[in-house]
Amino acid sequence: MKLHEYQAKELLARYGLPVPEGRVAENVESGLQAADRLGYPVAIKAQVHAGGRGKAGGVQLARDRDEAREALASILGMTLRTAQTGGQGCRVRRVLVEQGVEICHEFYISILPDRASGTMMIIGSTEGGTDIEAVAARTPEKISRIHVDPFAGLQPFHIRRLAFELDLNECQEKQFFDLLRNLYRAVTENDLLLAEINPLVFTAADTFLLLDAKVEVDSSALFRHRDLAALRDDTDRDPLELEAGKYRLNYIRLDGNIGTMVNGAGLAMATMDLIKRAGAAPANFLDVGGGANAVMIEHGFRILLADPRVKAILINIFGGILRCDVLARGVVAAARATAIDMPVVVRMEGTNVEEGRRILAGSNLALVTAVDLRDAAEKIADIAGGL
Ligand code: GDP
Ligand code: MN
């Protein structure tokens, strides 16, 4: 779960990390009040769950009240499209109004659990700012990576090494020790998947300041961080993913045009692989779970059909806890209720499969039945190829 910048900064400030003074505003008037109170110049920053705002006009500096009014009016309500928002963009409902800062240098720092190495990884660079992706691509030697054993924790030598690689002077290094310790503690104590500070600036007043903060919390750990769970803001999330979540359906949007409905995450992954191998592309991952019932199947159907990109559907169920006859009744009911108007391939195996097949065959619906998983993938790919 992603936090907004202002939420991330509130969290990190509780760990003694230096963040600029700022206030959140939802309209021009309250934004201006905040700016007046902070004093000019101010930075006005769109609060959306995506980076790259600076380049897209979502971060603007204002030297006086008139510029602040103009910046607030242009950012609030805008649809921000950045490299990270996806095609439809994010509508800006809130801005963070912050004290303007005089920057001497922009660093990049992030901490994240690195699954490949099984360590906490600290990434640092002297080339912070808006173009870190380009730095990583063109001059990878300017990116330092430090691996921290999660059981031993962050040690002074880690910090010293990073300070050396970032070429910090004595005054900076002293502050950097506390800063990195506090940031590391914030990440581990809150089960963060990412804390990315870009830029971490060194200011004209000779202090470090976290000018931007991107924080992602491990959703699976929210049960033990009630305070963080309360910060959830779903307005930027895919509406179909939200809808699916209401029915405890595990749905993830993908790029293709084959809607898929499968019981069990592993089977769903295998199904998507086979669809790809047969030359077609799934529009989604949808795991209805091992204990799905007819009502959940119908909800699943509605979610697939609500996606205008979906041109054909593949249902792949192994009837264990969910019996095939129950599934078949669910499919028939859902197909009738939603007046389904596209090809549906069904592959069904397991408990009560004969009864299930009878129900499908007797339904008068134009369902294509498959004998096994590969057959199902090939049939759906054939159909997709002819669309
Ligand atoms: P992002 O583009 O979404 O990562 O947004 P950031 O918060 O990182 O802002 C983008 C850039 O705006 C930063 O790299 C800074 O160069 C600049 N910026 C943001 N706040 C200030 C500020 O208070 N003063 C100055 N001079 N520049 C700022
Ligand atoms: Mn940034």
The predicted-structure confidence for 139-178, as pLDDT tens digits, reads as follows: 999 999 999 999 999 999 999 999 999 999 999 999 999 9
Give the pocket of ligand 1 (CB within 6 Å): 43, 45, 51-54, 59, 61, 98, 100-101, 103, 106, 129-130, 198-199, 211-212
Which of 207, 235, 263 is the C-terminal boundary of a domain?
235
Surface-to-core class of residue 102, CB atoms within 10 Å of its CB (0-12 exposed, 13-18 middle, 19+ buried): exposed
| Structural domain of 371 | 239-385
Q: Which two tokens stand for residue 360?
A: 């499908």
**Is residue 310 scored above 80 in pLDDT?**
yes
Whether 13 and 29 map to the same domain: the answer is no
Whether 149 and 251 map to the same domain: the answer is no
**Residue whose CA is at the smallest distance from ligand 1 atom 14:** 129
**Is residue 86 scored above 90 in pLDDT?**
no
Residues whose beta carbons lie less than 5 angstroms from ion ligand 2: 198, 212
Which of 235, 258, 293 is the C-terminal boundary of a domain?
235
Could you list the beta-strand ranges (E) of the chain.
22-25, 42-46, 59-62, 79-80, 90-91, 95-99, 103-114, 119-125, 143-148, 192-203, 208-210, 214-217, 250-253, 258-262, 284-287, 312-319, 344-350, 367-369
The single-letter DSSP state of residue 82 is -
**Residue whose CA is at the smallest distance from ligand 1 atom 7:** 212
pLDDT for the residue 263: 87
CB of 196 within 8 A of CB of 213? Answer: yes
Sheet holding 42-46, edge to edge: 22-25, 95-99, 42-46, 59-62
**Residue from 53, 47, 98, 97 nearest 72 by CA:** 97
Whether 160 and 29 map to the same domain: the answer is no
Residues 6 or more apart whose CB falls under 8 angstroms from that of 262 comprise 268, 271, 286, 287, 288, 315, 316, 317
Q: Which of 30-39, 47-56, 132-141, 323-332 has the highest mean pLDDT?
A: 30-39
Distance 54 CA to ligand 2 centre (A): 7
pLDDT class of 367 with cuts at 50, 70, 90: confident
Whether 76 and 142 map to the same domain: the answer is no
pLDDT class of 341 with cuts at 50, 70, 90: confident
pLDDT for the residue 291: 73
Ligand 1 atom nearest to CA at 55: 2
Average model confidence (pLDDT) across the chain: 93
Whether 244 and 228 map to the same domain: the answer is no
Whether 7 and 49 map to the same domain: the answer is no
Q: Give the number of the ligand closest to the Cα of residue 50.
A: 1
pLDDT for the residue 218: 96
**Is residue 290 scored above 80 in pLDDT?**
no
pLDDT for the residue 349: 92
Whether 331 and 286 map to the same domain: the answer is yes
Q: How many domains does the chain have?
A: 3
The single-letter DSSP state of residue 2 is B
pLDDT for the residue 376: 93
Is-catalytic flag, 15?
A: no
Whether 247 and 340 map to the same domain: the answer is yes
Which of 100, 133, 166 is the C-terminal boundary of a domain?
100
Q: What is the pTM of this model?
A: 0.79
Distance CA 45, CA 24 (A): 9
CB of 74 within 8 A of CB of 167? Answer: no
**Residue from 122, 177, 176 nearest 147 by CA:** 122
pLDDT tens per residue across span 258-267: 999 998 899 9
pLDDT for the residue 11: 98
| Chain centroid offset of residue 182 CA | 25
Residues 6 or more apart whose CB falls under 8 angstroms from that of 95 comprise 24, 25, 26, 31, 44, 45, 46, 47, 72, 75, 76
